[in-house]
Chains A and B, each alone.
Chain A
Amino acid sequence: EDQVTQSPEALRLQEGESSSLNCSYTASGLRGLFWYRQDPGKGPEFLFTLYSAGEEKEKERLKATLTKKESFLHITAPKPEDSATYLCAVQLNAGGTSYGKLTFGQGTILTVHP
């Protein structure tokens, strides 16, 4: 079964301490890789779409990159309001079995202390 693995499961940072979250996937035929942020009790909030190796996207303190089988979400000088669960999801190039289907990783719980 296609798998999406995120690491670490949890990450505690001090405010201003930069770090990276990892997302790796086993399937071939990637159509797109997505990053979401989820706050407790809320639905995931869309952050980025990546679909070719070497691609990078940035938004405020976040930068997402994509290699052949991995993506990284770099957080530069994080603030306490960046605390959330960050989810990675993939959409495969698999015809009808991929319609509307994202396969999610388990997420990384990020806590940023002031």
Chain B
Amino acid sequence: KAGVTQTPRYLIKTRGQQVTLSCSPISGHRSVSWYQQTPGQGLQFLFEYFSETQRNKGNFPGRFSGRQFSNSRSEMNVSTLELGDSALYLCASSRTSGGLNEQFFGPGTRLTVL
């Protein structure tokens, strides 16, 4: 069974630009969660999508947004990039949204903002 895939794996952008990251969940998984990982803050929850609906959102500014498509693939977008947005962005998929939520992570997208 194929795992979670994320594209692109690496991105370099400059301040003020915007970026879109993509995540394809494990087949049959309908929930996709996004996390930001930095050395200082560790892994922090951004948001979760299930059946094309955002069901939960973490404590991040509105510049961070996402969506989910009918095939459960998800994208996240960051607008007006800041230097502090440099991080590893991870997506994780799970079968369901409520209930025990075993999440399986992709390899991440490494974003560098210059």
Contacts and interface: CB of A to CB of B under 8 A. Distances in A.
Interface of A: 31-32, 34, 36, 41-46, 49, 51, 87, 89, 91, 96-107
B19 interface: no
Q: Which range contains the number of B residues in contact with the other chain?
A: 20 to 34
B94 to A, nearest CB: 7
A31 B105 CA distance: 19
Contacts, number: 79
Tell me if B's interface is mostly helix, strand, loop or mixed: strand
A46 B104 CA distance: 6
Contacts of B103: 34, 46, 100, 102
Nearest to B39: A106
A10 B92 CA distance: 26
